[in-house]
Amino acid sequence: MIEIHQALSMILERARPRAPERQGLDQALGRVLAEDVINDIDSPPYDKALMDGYAVVASDLRGGRGELMVVDEVAAGDIPCEPLQSGMATRIMTGAPVPRGADAIVVDECCRMDEAGGITTVRIDDRDVRPGQHILGRGRSVRRGETVLQIGRRLSAIDAGLLAEVGRTQVLVHASPRVAVLPTGTELVPACDVPGPGQIRNSNGPMLGALVSSAGGQPVDLGIARDTESELARQMNRGLHEDILILSGGVSAGDFDLVPHVLRDLGVEQVFHGVRLKPGRPLWFGVLPHAKGSRLVFGLPGNPVSGLVCFELFVRPAIAALAALPQVSRPMIAARLSDPFRHTGDRPTYFPVRLEGDRWEGDGDPVQARLLDWKGSADLRTLACADGLALFPAGRSEYALDETVQVMLLERGLFAH
Amino acid sequence: MIEIHQALSMILERARPRAPERQGLDQALGRVLAEDVINDIDSPPYDKALMDGYAVVASDLRGGRGELMVVDEVAAGDIPCEPLQSGMATRIMTGAPVPRGADAIVVDECCRMDEAGGITTVRIDDRDVRPGQHILGRGRSVRRGETVLQIGRRLSAIDAGLLAEVGRTQVLVHASPRVAVLPTGTELVPACDVPGPGQIRNSNGPMLGALVSSAGGQPVDLGIARDTESELARQMNRGLHEDILILSGGVSAGDFDLVPHVLRDLGVEQVFHGVRLKPGRPLWFGVLPHAKGSRLVFGLPGNPVSGLVCFELFVRPAIAALAALPQVSRPMIAARLSDPFRHTGDRPTYFPVRLEGDRWEGDGDPVQARLLDWKGSADLRTLACADGLALFPAGRSEYALDETVQVMLLERGLFAH
């Protein structure tokens, strides 16, 4: 058996980012850029007014005061007719182009307009008027030819605005990995069925599919495979067309645990089988060499909780790596134990906890971790109340009340904390 | 002008959760349950073996030792033929039903099978064998009729597994609010166009659409509206069919700022116009009474950064409230200033910052907030580098190096910290 960190390195060595694809902005959100994005024109493309008011020549206004003749009016979308000369002003709206010759905007609140004898004037009473005030000069936001977003960046909502500003409605990004999910077990029936004698519902398929989505992958539901060689081989074959194939069940040492055997027959090379970890020891991992990058195959234990732990520790980072995402694991936070904990056995153990207290308050106090009263690794209902999984390293058996431990946050913990 | 907290209360008072809809598990993920979910059958539906090994009668094995006759073999999906009697054992696989009469499983590692003269026996050498060991009794995970998930719960990936376990492939949830986005301004052209004289690209539409998605809403793109009453009225009318209408631009006090005027003509009742906030002061908010719950209308300032601040402070919480989500704001964290800051003006100010240091390490040290060198509220490019917005309350003008401030995390800050 290998250690957790060894297993993770062996997986990540084989998890190469997917080939980039050109995507529209909607699909590209949250994905990682596979090209530098260059600005095509100066932005803004003209000297732009940032306030409603009057465009003026700053040097006309000693001490911020003066009276000017109003010669034009420009709204956003208009083009100023004539250049502005000394002694003149142009009424201007936010977003409109500043007329040539003008070098400052005085805001409405400092202006009083007057019309007399067909002549419009504006009396200005401002503080000091600085050249450039309330104007965003052409190219001041981004110059033509500048790189605005670099390779490797994960695209945010603000980036979508920036991409639009520089005229990009399509970008090259690392696509979301496709992840086939195949629970195995002759006892399994679909969730919509009522189990007959000896049958139970397939809860792993929906859970793993949802976890794949939450990790940024595209789940591909392969249904359920019964424990026969021919059925396993047929369905695994379909799954091996995807970037990742996740199997659940059939990997411990029992007589009917056919999964590793059938995978080897299909040409999948075993990388490891078994990790020093509780729960999750029977984890199987292998690769199928392929022209477009190796297919990764995970055989997770069939117990839902063991499956979840293996997913969070090993599959989530693999999905992130295929998506070229920089952050590859769930966040770990420090928490104080609300209960003592006693280790049984010699494997690093992840135990479901509920977090109490507010991590966001920033008073430096770690939150409290309360051990959940779970009934073993098939107890999905208790696990659904967990905010995280507390890690108890191997080599120590007793943990006292109030000791600080590391907790890997689950979705619920991220929602709430 | 009203204060930020007053504006937020006025919005949330009018933001009622959307009517619940029945959704499949895929669509229901991340949404809030609008019903209690009751288990339909005992789960597991039979006494289930949790390990590969032998089903035995615990009292046969004094001190964990003994030799038993093997009478049957059950794999997952099988039904045991006969009840087990004292002196007998059944070979059993993980997930299989435990035969009647048996009350414990002894794992393979403690067993040695022997075949002689057509009779199969197993010699057991275990520690103490407890009744119930390695068996999950019928209904021990969830009893029939028990509530497994309660109204108001946001559905996680683990919940998807639990829902499948209790036979639910459809659940009643509060649907994702539909949010129409309509940037206004005669100067705007679509991102795919090259701006002509006096024109700029519409970056607000794509940014706001992406923000709506990140907040759990469904963006509805209405294109761009020019600054004429008839065009504004026509496009706003379309937007008023959705739960929320977000307008951008046309809400400050300029001559061509028609938005509030046209909205009132369409029957939208103004709730407030103007918030003591920088940037974002011109925010407009109103409601259109409607049989299925009021439509909420936000008029955001056209400057992208002002628009972003208003979105994060006011629109995101409104979307969350319509989705019945419990957490309504971006998280705030404490951070130490890497630069001094000088307030100009008397409004609470949000200023973009970059965070340095690792918030997850839990050593109690707040991260550092570095003020970004931005060029005013149209500078989307600098904003794209921001991890958060530092809040400088009104009433103080000088903030020193190393002072602690509150920072509202933006998407980038959540990705990385």
Domains belonging to chain B, first-starting first, are: 4-19+176-322 (3.40.980.10), 21-42+142-174 (3.90.105.10), 48-136 (2.170.190.11), 332-416 (2.40.340.10)
* Segments in B166-255 forming alpha helices (H): 204-214, 229-239
* Buried b / exposed e along B219-250 (16+ C-beta atoms within 10 A): bbebebbebeeebbeebbeebbebbbbbbbbb
169-188 in chain B: CB under 8 A from chain A? 169, 185-188
Query: Residue A358: pLDDT band by 50, 70, 90 thresholds?
Result: low
Is residue B337 a contact partner of residue B380, using CB atoms and an 8 Å limit? no
Separation CA A361–CA A373 (nearest Å)? 28
Residue A251 or A151, more confident: A151
**Nearest residue to A295 via CA among A216, A255, A236, A249:** A236
- Is pLDDT at A160 greater than 90 in this prediction? yes
Dist. CA B321–CA A86, nearest whole Å: 54
CA dist., res. B226 & res. B207, Å (int): 19
Could you give the percent of chain A with pLDDT greater than 70?
95
Q: Which of A158, A208, A315, A328 to mutate to test the interface with B (most CBs of B within 10 A)?
A: A158
Q: How confident is the model at residue B293 (pLDDT cuts 50, 70, 90)?
A: confident
Which amino acid makes up residue B297? Answer: V
The pLDDT of residue B359 is: 54
Q: Which residues contact A93 (CB under 8 A, 6 or more apart)?
A: A49, A52, A74, A75, A76, B254, B255, B256
Quickly state the pLDDT bin for A327 (edges 50, 70, 90).
low
pLDDT digits (tens, 9 = 90+) for B104-123: 999 999 999 999 888 999 99
pLDDT at residue B417 tops 60? no
**Over residues A214-230, mean pLDDT:** 95
CA contacts within 13 A on the Cβ side of B412: 22
The two beta strands, A218-221 and B53-56, are unpaired
d(CA A93, CA B257): 9
Residues 23-52, chain B, touching A (beta carbon < 8 A): 25-26, 29, 40-41, 43-46, 48, 50, 52
CA dist A60 and A73 (Å) reads: 19
Query: Per the structure block, which two tokens stand in for A311?
Result: 């997913």
Beta carbons within 8 Å of B395's beta carbon, 6+ residues apart: B346
Within its chain, how far is the Cα of B285 from the centroid? 25
**Token pair belonging to A67:** 């009276």
Q: What was the pLDDT predicted at B327?
A: 64
Are the C-beta atoms of residues B141 and A376 closer than 8 Å to each other?
Answer: no
Question: At residue B366, does pLDDT exceed 80?
Answer: no
Across the A:B interface, residue pairs with CB atoms under 8 Å apart total 313
In terms of Cβ atoms closer than 10 Å to its own Cβ (0-12, 13-18, 19+), residue A165 is: buried
Contacts of residue A407, defined as CB under 8 A and 6 or more positions apart, other chains included, come to: A332, A333, A334, A335, A353, A355, A369, A387, A388, A389, A390, A391, A413
Give residue B215's region: left, alpha or beta (phi > 0; psi -120 to 50).
alpha
Does residue A366 contact residue A334 with C-beta atoms inside 8 Å? Answer: yes
For the record, the structure tokens of B329 come out as 């704001």
Q: What is the pLDDT of residue B328?
A: 64
Residue of B nearest to A408 (CA): B360
Which residue matches tokens 């204060």?
A: B3
pLDDT at A417: 47
User: To the nearest whole percent, how much of chain A has pLDDT over 90?
Assistant: 77
Helix (H, G, I), strand (E, B) or coil at B207: helix
- Average pLDDT in the A108-124 region? 93
Using DSSP bridges, classify how beta strands B111-116 and B119-125 pair: parallel, antiparallel or unpaired. antiparallel
Residue B255 has what pLDDT?
57
Average pLDDT score over chain B: 91
Cis amide bond preceding B279, omega within 30: yes
Do A79 and B362 count as a contact with CB atoms less than 8 A apart?
Answer: no
Q: Region B303-312: what's the mean pLDDT?
A: 92
Confidence of residue B89 (pLDDT cuts 50, 70, 90): very high
Q: Is the pLDDT of residue A9 over 70?
A: yes
Of the candidates A189, A213, A211, the one whose C-alpha atom is nearest the C-alpha of residue A202 is: A189
What CA–CA distances, in Å, run from A336 to A359, A383, A388? 12, 19, 13
Distance (Å, whole) CA B73 – CA A335:
46
Sign of CA dihedral B36, B40, B42, B43: negative
A97 with B303: Cβ contact below 8 A: no
pLDDT band for position B379 (50/70/90)?
A: confident
Q: What percent of chain B has pLDDT over 90?
A: 77
Per the model's pLDDT, the better-predicted residue between B213 and B381 turns out to be: B213
pLDDT at B410: 93
Chain A: closest CA distance from residue B291 (Å): 32
> Which of A285-299, B9-23, B374-388 is least confident?
B374-388
pLDDT tens track for A359-412: 544 455 678 999 998 776 667 888 999 999 999 999 888 999 999 999 999 988
Minimum distance, in Å, between the CA of residue A289 and any CA atom of chain B: 31
> Cα separation of A3 and A304, whole Å?
21
Structure tokens at B161: 């597994």
**Closest Cα in chain B, distance from residue A22 (Å):** 15
Q: Is A276 on the interface with B (CB under 8 A)?
A: no
Using an 8 Å Cβ cutoff, are B129 and B300 in contact? no
Please give the backbone phi and psi of residue A132, each rounded to the nearest 5 degrees, phi first. 95, -5
Partner-chain residue, chosen from A77, A201, A326, that has the shortest CB–CB distance to B165: A201
How many residues make up chain B in this entry? 417
Instruction: Compute the average pLDDT of residues B276-288.
Output: 95
What is the CB neighbour count within 10 angstroms for residue B23? 18
In chain B, the largest separation of any two C-alpha atoms, in whole Å, equals: 104
H or E element in which residue B306 lies: helix B304-310
- A291 min Cα distance to partner chain B (Å): 32
Pairing state between β B200-201 and B188-189:
parallel
Q: Which amino acid is at B264?
A: R
Closest chain A residue to B134 measured between Cα atoms? Answer: A376
- Asked whether the beta carbons of B277 and B283 are under 8 A apart, the reply is yes
Nearest Cα residue to B31 out of B157, B210, B175:
B175
The string of pLDDT tens digits covering residues B232-270 is 999 999 999 999 999 999 877 665 678 999 999 999 999
pLDDT above 70 covers what percent of chain B? 95
CA pair distance B161, B168, nearest whole angstrom: 10
pLDDT > 60? residue B197 = yes
Integer CA distances (angstroms), A350 to A163, A372, B266, B270, in order = 42, 12, 58, 54
In the block, residue with structure tokens 């060689």: A229
Q: Enter the tokens of residue A310.
A: 């293996």
Q: How confident is the model over B186-202, as a mean pLDDT?
A: 94
How high does pLDDT run on average in chain A? 91
Of A185-194, A379-388, B158-167, B200-209, the one with minimum mean pLDDT is: A379-388
Which residues in chain B are contacts of A161 at CB distance < 8 A?
203-204, 206-207, 210, 304, 380
Judged by CB atoms closer than 8 Å, whether chains meet at A381 and B50 is answered as no
pLDDT at site A94? 86
Q: What is the pLDDT of residues A273-303, one digit of tens each?
A: 999 999 999 999 999 998 878 999 999 998 8
pLDDT above 70 (res A314)? yes
- Work out the pLDDT band at A258, boundaries 50, 70, 90: confident
Hey, what are A343's tokens? 């280790």
